[in-house]
Chains A and B, each alone.
Chain A
Amino acid sequence: MFTNLTTTPVTRRQLLLGGATLGAAGLLSACVGSPRQQGGSGASGGTGTVTLQSSIQDADPKAALEALVAGYTGAKVTLNSVATEQFRAQLTNYLRSSNPPDVLTWYAGSVARAYAAEGLLLDVSPLWKGDGACAGYSDALRNLSTDADGKQIFVPQNYYWWSVFYKKSAFQEWGVQPPTTWDEFHALCENLSGQGVAPLANGIGSTPWMASGWFDYLDLRINGAQYHRELLAGEHSFTDPQVVDVMEEYRRLIPYFDRNMASYSAQEAATPVAQNQVAMYLVGAFATGYFPEDQREDLDFFSVPVINDSVPTAEEAPTDGFFAAARTDNPEGALDLLSYLVSPEAQQQYIEASKSSNLPTSPDVDTSSFSPLVQKGIQLLNETQEITQFFNRDSSDALQATADTALTRFLAQPDDLRSILEEWQRAAEGVFSS
């Protein structure tokens, strides 16, 4: 409201109108909040009512989660869907409120640990012990879901891999093969450019974080996962020679990108690939859902080739799932809902209904019926030595914003590299100090 007053000389009538709007908003939110409060007060006996706050917005996964929740019989679940960007901005508020949503969707890794460090997340280690729902999960997932104190605070539900996706039929048409070395990759890009095909797709317009995909992979291939994690934790400077090496390698790719990438979102960038105008797309497996249904069989992928063979192999495999608020008034209900949501049956149902290529976290899900593409993804992740999440998940949403500015500017003005990195470091220091 104060924005209104300070930006414009408003009339008295407008002010009153604004006041009335705010009042109405307050009433509305009171209405939204009330069912949960009733449920909470009646929760002492059974598992009562549980609120699930979801940031999932893509149509199929959203419907899949709704179907999953509808099948839960343990308690009455109130499912609130919030637009992802708003959810991100409000997440701290949700967790800190005195009457928080009980269970929330979000991401594993540093981003969840940061909330745990503030004491905002419920200890879910009962689910990871004995015959708990997560007891049989891989050690990698267990580590990913464990906070600095050694207790589990996250319940992973599915994950996916990043790779360079392409259409088999298009590669055949252009007479090219997926590359196995970095030199072959460059030769392939040259070849495709010569044929009038843009080699690399990307969409950094309304989804500027997509620019971090190549940054992450080049850093993983040149400096390795260890250095990458330390860099994102603030232990190295973005002006380091190691980062300059990464950016120089990135600069070599710039001529190969779709020249419209700055106008596209991640989803729009898939369209020219589907139309055989652009050849390859480094993106998460969720992107298979961006392609027309009759093209999904045609999709294949290869991992970004090795650049420096002295660093361990690494892949990005972001893990999605749930955590619960520490201040929930119904911890038993929250744990019970979490157990249900990540049970093998629920995971299988969710993945099939969401029509994505995401992988189940539970080892008990029968993956034999999943598509060959997904089988290949599982194999890729099983064979790699290191797994990272993604820039924002390995650091924080605030650091991601600094990367968005730096990398999108770099892609437009690569000659300003020095000043861009200095500006990036300044912004990152601001994030780490706050």
Chain B
Amino acid sequence: MSAALADVEPEVAPGRPPEPRRRRRGRVPLLVWVFLLVPLVVELFWVFWPAGNSFSLALTRWDGIGAAEPVGLQNFLDLAADPIFRTALVNNVVWAVGFGGLSVVVGLSLAVALNKPGPLVGLYRSAIYLPMVVSLAVTGLFWRVMYQPGGPVNAALEVVGLGSLQRQWLADPEVALGAVLVAAVWRQVGYIMVLYLAGLKSCDATLEEAAAVDGAGAWQRFWRIVMPQLRGVNMVVFAVTVIDSLRTFDIVWAMTRGGPYNETQLLSTYMFQQAFTTGNLGYASAIAVVIFALAIGFIITYLARQARTED
């Protein structure tokens, strides 16, 4: 992205006389160019070259060792007919909406609730943020214990008299994805809360007081006065959430491996399974291309909207 923007730059400023620019460039020490070149070369070799390869691999059948056999668009035709791919696609949408929606709603509510001074507020905040320091893979293992047939979740349901709600949380396809989602949100909420807490701290308290004096209710004050001031934070939270939900892989892999019978497969886990368990690198690359297209499509829409609102 940054490279593309740099290319565009001269065209955005066509009015500038070329003379002083050349002189400025001449003054840039060679060392700086070296510093810029080295990461560029590293990035080209380690990132763009393999990424470009995944596009050409998507048009082949390849087991990773022998010669890749070109098959044209066959991989994509196979994908269109692949029921597991369809499940994964739907799951990805469910995941993005559920993960984003839940963590923002809960994180914002917690931030608002804990923004007031009170006893032990610091303790609550730290406790809620604590899961964030645990890696997603460990979170997954921890929640697997929670969801065991005789584990804490089922035991708690039994104790409060909701024994009929007991499930095989990770083995029942109807609830498995939701169960993983809860674990992921449990970890994400603290992060979102901290972001919103920072935003709330920078809000101007006098505006809210003035609104209160003018007779605005708490709900009105929150939506009309506080929320508009949180616009910057909202953007950060939005970006963080979308990125985190698109790259989800580890927690699903640690908890269900896409099972039972592929019902909790995400595009990322299905791609990994195809590439590194089954050894269909061509097919896996085709999935990677689809994920790339989705991500790029999303980013372009988002940037376009951003540009419009800023105009």
Q: Which residues of A contact B (CB under 8 A)?
A: 1-9, 12, 15-16, 18-19, 22-23, 85, 89, 92-93, 96, 205-206, 208, 259-260, 262-264, 398, 401, 404-406, 408-409, 412, 423, 434
Contacts and interface: CB of A to CB of B under 8 A. Distances in A.
Contact of A9 (B45, B61, B259, B295): B295
B260 A2 contact: no
9 contacts: A2-B47, A2-B51, A2-B54, A3-B271, A7-B267, A7-B295, A12-B43, A19-B45, A206-B257
A259 B149 CA distance: 9
Contacts of B147: 263
Contact of B170 (A18, A22, A205): A205
B78 to A, nearest CB: 9
Nearest to B44: A19
Contacts of B47: 1-2, 5, 15, 18-19
A258 B260 CA distance: 17
B225 interface: no
B34 interface: no
B168 A260 contact: yes
B191 interface: no
Contacts of B272: 3
B65 A15 contact: no
Nearest to B61: A434
Interface string B267-311: 110011000111110000100110110010001000000000000
A93 B64 contact: yes
Interface in B6-50: 39, 42-43, 45-47, 50
B158 to A, nearest CB: 14
Contacts of A205: 170-171, 259-260
Given A3-B268, A3-B272, A12-B2, A412 B261 contact: yes
Contact of A263 (B2, B46, B54, B149): B149
Contact of B42 (A7, A19, A208, A404): A19
Contacts of A85: 277
B39 A7 contact: no
A156 B261 CA distance: 33
Contacts of A12: 2, 39, 43
A434 B71 CA distance: 13
B1 A16 contact: no
Contacts of B54: 2, 6
B65 A92 contact: yes
Given A3-B272, A92-B279, A208 B65 contact: no
A89 B295 contact: no
Contacts of A406: 261
B246 interface: yes
B83 A423 contact: yes
A206 B280 CA distance: 22
B178 interface: no
Contact of A18 (B1, B46, B279): B46
A434 B61 CA distance: 9
Contact of A89 (B168, B247, B276): B276
A278 to B, nearest CB: 12
A259 B172 CA distance: 11
Contacts of B63: 92
A6 B289 contact: yes
A11 B276 CA distance: 26
Interface of B: 1-2, 39, 42-43, 45-47, 50-51, 53-54, 61, 63-65, 83, 147-150, 168-173, 243, 246-247, 249, 257, 259-262, 267-268, 271-272, 276-280, 285, 288-289, 291-292, 295, 299
B42 A16 contact: yes
A150 to B, nearest CB: 26
Contact of A19 (B43, B65, B246): B43
Contacts of B83: 423
A294 B83 CA distance: 48
B47 to A, nearest CB: 5
B51 A263 contact: no
A404 B277 CA distance: 14
B10 to A, nearest CB: 20
A283 to B, nearest CB: 19
Q: Which 5 A-B pairs have the closest CB atoms?
A: A262-B171, A19-B46, A6-B292, A260-B149, A409-B261
B76 to A, nearest CB: 15
A28 B149 CA distance: 41
Given A9-B299, A405-B261, A262 B168 contact: yes
B268 A16 contact: no
Given A9-B295, A89-B277, A263-B171, A408 B259 contact: yes
Contacts of A15: 43, 46-47
Given A12-B43, A89-B276, A205-B171, 15 more contacts: A1-B50, A2-B50, A3-B268, A6-B295, A7-B295, A12-B39, A89-B277, A89-B279, A93-B64, A96-B65, A262-B168, A263-B148, A263-B168, A263-B171, A434-B280
Contacts of A8: 243, 246-247, 295
Looking at A2, A4, A96, the one whose CB has the most chain B CB atoms below 10 A away is A2
Contacts of B279: 89, 92
Contact of B259 (A6, A19, A208, A259): A208
B70 to A, nearest CB: 15
A61 to B, nearest CB: 24
Contacts of B285: 2
Nearest to B83: A423
A111 B284 CA distance: 24
A7 B268 contact: yes
Contact of A408 (B42, B260, B288, B292): B260
Nearest to B248: A7
A7 B43 contact: no
B46 A1 contact: yes
B248 to A, nearest CB: 9
Nearest to B84: A405
A6 B275 CA distance: 15
Contact of B246 (A5, A7, A412): A7
Nearest to B272: A3
A408 B149 contact: no
Contacts of B291: 6-7
Contacts of A5: 47, 50-51, 292
Nearest to B277: A89
A16 B39 contact: yes
A94 B111 CA distance: 52
Contacts of B42: 16, 19
A204 to B, nearest CB: 8
B27 to A, nearest CB: 25
Given A263-B168, A408-B261, A6 B51 contact: yes
